[in-house]
Amino acid sequence: MKRFQSKNIPKVVAILREEYQKWEMPAVTNTAKRSRDPFRVLISTILSLRTKDETTREASKRLFKLADNPGDMLKLSHKKVEEAIYPVGFYKTKTTTIREVCRILLEKYDSEVPAEIDELLKFKGVGRKTANLVVTLGYGKPGVCVDTHVHRISNRWGFIKTKNPYDTEIELRKLLPKKYWIEYNSILVAFGQQICRPVSPKCTLCAVEKYCEKVGVVLSR
């Protein structure tokens, strides 16, 4: 069996960084690159939960054309926000979350999105994935954002052995060199969408296949 070694991480990241140029950038990463605005990153990430990237991308564009700051967002009616973000998953619940987040930002933070994970986690509807994305992509500060792709692929490689995203974040903070923290999520999300699929990954097309233990892989292409 192949053994994934931590010393190979620089090689793996370098290879995937090159491959990443061929793939479509994740929706939230694209929002961050275009705007460098923590508020847009925050709202886009909320929209992205359990939603396909293409849907998130278009919903974000529609919403930000109407409002791109907490004050203006709260001027929109609940129905107007719902209409703008539909058909993202759980759009009704997300509308309520967005409006509540904006209200708190306006009332308690002078409309400024916090730059600390612990502070962001105080907001209802904001979990560690969202908080880490805001910190890393919105502020350029070190953080390890773990979503389903990062959790699955890091374990599939054999780099770590964890049972949930929280434990994955803790392990990656220990094992992943800090210089890779910010880009790790964006690269693995694109990699997971294009090549390292949850079911039947495209191993024959994978540029880092030789480093992978293929933990849990039953069928591949």
Q: Which residues contact 185 (CB under 8 A, 6 or more apart)?
A: 132, 133, 136, 144, 145, 146, 147, 149, 150
pLDDT band at 2 (very low <50, low <70, confident <90, very high): low
Query: What is the token pair recorded at 80?
Result: 């107007």
Distance in angstroms (rounded) separating the CA atoms of residues 98 and 81: 9
Let me know if 149 is exposed, middle or buried by CB neighbors in 10 A (0-12, 13-18, 19+): buried
Q: Annotated catalytic, 118?
A: no
Q: Which residues contact 10 (CB under 8 A, 6 or more apart)?
A: 177
Distance in angstroms (rounded) separating the CA atoms of residues 90 and 158: 34
Residue carrying the six token digits 């973000």: 85
Render the chain in DSSP notation, one character per residue. Answer: -----GGGHHHHHHHHHHHHTTSPPPHHHHHHHHH--HHHHHHHHHHHTTS-HHHHHHHHHHHHHH-SSHHHHHHS-HHHHHHHHTTSTTHHHHHHHHHHHHHHHHHHSTTPPPSSHHHHTTSTT--HHHHHHIIIIIH--------HHHHHHHHHHTS---SSHHHHHHHHHHHS-GGGHHHHHHHHHHHHHHTS-SSS--GGG-TTGGG---TT-----
Q: What is the pLDDT of residue 4?
A: 82
Average pLDDT over residues 172-189: 97
Q: Annotated catalytic, 75?
A: no
Average pLDDT over residues 90-104: 98
**Catalytic option among 147, 167, 178, 210:** 147
Chain centroid to Cα 165, Å, comes to 12
**Catalytic option among 108, 129, 174, 178:** 129
Encode pLDDT of 49-67 as tens digits: 999 999 999 999 999 999 9
Encode pLDDT of 198-212 as tens digits: 999 999 999 999 999
Higher per-residue confidence, 3 vs 4: 4
Average pLDDT over residues 72-100: 98
What domains are there in the chain, each with its CATH number? 6-25+144-211 (1.10.1670.10), 27-139 (1.10.340.30)
Average pLDDT over residues 97-125: 97
Residue carrying the six token digits 């992978």: 212
